[in-house]
Amino acid sequence: MSIGTKEEAIYGAKAYVAIQFVGTFDQLATKLADALNLKEITIETNEEPPHQRIASAETMGWELWLEEDTNNPLHNFRLRIETEHAMKESFLGRMHDLSPWYARLVASQCDVKAQPLA
């Protein structure tokens, strides 16, 4: 099949994970980068209020975002990953949810408490 000749049913993937971590935002970002073998993780301040710090990385077709979560007493961080360039798949409901698997991976690789977010 040649590229661009037929509309394909392409799927993306996403995962949302709650993390309980005793330590700072920077410490967790470094821990994730090391354990998940991320080449570079960038920490910036969100442009929109409340101007929260966000760690982000891109690798092998995935985008990753780490944020503090002060609204939930059961966890203090949220981690999201999504396949890059999957806007169309997201709008069409063609995103596989890998949250349970990714939470288990993060817990075992990073030695933190992690659970899937609904």
pLDDT in tens, 56-98: 999 889 999 999 998 887 889 999 999 999 999 999 999 999 9
* Fold topology of 12-116: TATA-Binding Protein (3.30.310)
Distances (CA, A) of 115 to 43, 60, 94: 23, 24, 23
Residue 1's pLDDT band, with cuts at 50, 70 and 90, is very low
How is residue 102 written in tokens?
A: 């990714």
Beta strand pairing call for 113-116 and 53-59: unpaired
| pLDDT value at 106 more than 50 | yes
Q: Are 80 and 87 in contact (CB under 8 A)?
A: no
For the chain, domain boundaries:
12-116
Residue predicted with more confidence, 52 or 2 = 52
Amino acid identity for residue 31 in this structure: K
- Rounded to two decimals, the pTM is 0.85
